[in-house]
Amino acid sequence: MARKAGSTRQDTEAKIYLAARNLFARFGYAAVSMRQIASEVGVNQAALYHYTPTKQDLLAGLLTRHMDDLIAAYDAESHPDDPLLALDHFTRFHIAYHLTKPDEVFLSYMELRSLEPDHFQKITALRSDYEERLRHILASGLKTGAFTAIEPSITAMAILSMLTGITNWYKPGGRLSQDDIETYYSRLVLRAVGATPLAEENPQCSMRA
The pLDDT > 90 percentage for the chain reads: 78
pLDDT in tens, 94-125: 999 999 999 999 999 999 999 999 999 999 99
Longest dimension (CA), the chain: 63
- Class for the domain spanning 55-209: mainly alpha
From the list 1, 166, 144, 32, the residue with the least C-alpha distance to 98 is 166
E strand or H helix at 99:
helix 83-99
Separation between Cα atoms, residue 3 and residue 8, nearest integer Å: 8
Task: Kindly tell me the sign of the dihedral angle through the C-alpha atoms of 149, 153, 154, 156.
Answer: positive
Residues of the chain with CATH 1.10.10.60: 1-53
How many angstroms separate the Cα of 2 from the Cα of each of 16, 50, 161? Answer: 13, 11, 42
* pLDDT tens per residue, range 155-178: 999 999 999 999 999 988 888 899
Q: What is the pTM of this model?
A: 0.87
Task: Determine whether domain 1-53 maps to CATH 3.40.50.740.
Answer: no
User: Which residues in the chain are classed under CATH 1.10.357.10?
Assistant: 55-209
Which DSSP string corresponds to 6-35? Answer: T--HHHHHHHHHHHHHHHHHHH-GGG--HH
